[in-house]
Chain A
């Protein structure tokens, strides 16, 4: 290793940032070259001067802590409003509105369906009640058979059978 190469590596050498092979080569060269050894001492002295100049650590001002707390608190309050605003965005509102409309449609359809079928249910209920109340008399049997016949005919008509 020559002096030029050695001095180019001195800063990295002082900071422990050269690879093992270069480290050994610089180390060897420094012990045989007064010029490079002097340059190395100057590098060490500079680092030492920097460390001495800034050796005293300053205390952490408590006002910073208070300032950070205040800023974080102030940011939290508008955060709730921002979340509300985010919920009211069209991208969120449109699917929600579609779901509500679909739900209302289903409820309406079910109600209409139940209303349409309720007279049949009522008729069957009334006939059954009549049988129970008359205690299985001939009149009640006729009423039941008549009801069943009517229902069967109605079903056949709905199914399109001859």
Chain B
């Protein structure tokens, strides 16, 4: 749990966009892991198995909440524990990083849950299409089309959100 906990929590955080839901999702995922421990097939990726559970739980939760998972990020959304060699020592770079993070999170939130999961798994977790297909229980073709659509949307959304933030920043 110590080995995979951090990665799972970070995936859940990126998927949900907030700490409270990420914590609940991760906790429930590990409880399911303990319950279904015997069904894990040795030789397969344990992390992919947990990611699959997290993705399914997130999907179920979205369905339960009728598509409304999160509308706003909490105050503590921004990264607080920056590593020593990061831009934390450079206030301008830190502001830029926060703006970038906020823009990307905003853009990701406008994708569907499945599109967001595919983007996170492909671009941040470096999973292959085959692994993503196994995690999301769909075909490689579906992974490909979801990723294409998601990235096309992000390419349109990111400049628009950046422009909005720039306008809001200059008006203050």
Residues of A within 8 A of B (CB): 11-12, 15-17, 42-43, 46-47, 49-61, 63-65, 67-68, 71-72, 75
Contact of A64 among B23, B79, B100 (CB under 8 A): B23
Contacting pair A64 B30 (CB below 8 A): yes
Contact of A51 among B31, B123, B128 (CB under 8 A): B123
Q: Which residue of A lies closest to B144 (CB)?
A: A12
Please report the C-alpha to C-alpha distance between residue A17 and residue B145 in the assembled complex, in whole angstroms.
Answer: 13
Chain B residues near A16 (CB-CB < 8 A): 128
Q: List 7 A-B contacts (CB under 8 A).
A: A11-B147, A51-B124, A53-B105, A56-B83, A58-B9, A58-B81, A59-B81
CB within 8 Å for A52 and B97 given contacts A43-B151, A68-B27: yes
Q: Majority SS of interface residues in chain A?
A: helix
B62 at the interface (CB under 8 A from A): no
Chain A residues near B19 (CB-CB < 8 A): 58, 61
Contacting pair A60 B122 (CB below 8 A): no
Contacting pair A54 B14 (CB below 8 A): yes
Q: Majority SS of interface residues in chain B?
A: helix
Q: Which residue of B lies closest to A48 (CB)?
A: B123
Chain B residues near A75 (CB-CB < 8 A): 35
Contacting pair A17 B129 (CB below 8 A): yes
Please report the C-alpha to C-alpha distance between residue A52 and residue B97 in the assembled complex, in whole angstroms.
Answer: 8
CB within 8 Å for A65 and B123 given contacts A46-B151, A52-B100: no
Q: Which residue of B lies closest to A50 (CB)?
A: B123
**How far does the Cβ of B3 sit from chain A's closest Cβ, in whole Å?**
10
Q: Which residue of B lies closest to A17 (CB)?
A: B129
Q: Which residue of B lies closest to A56 (CB)?
A: B79
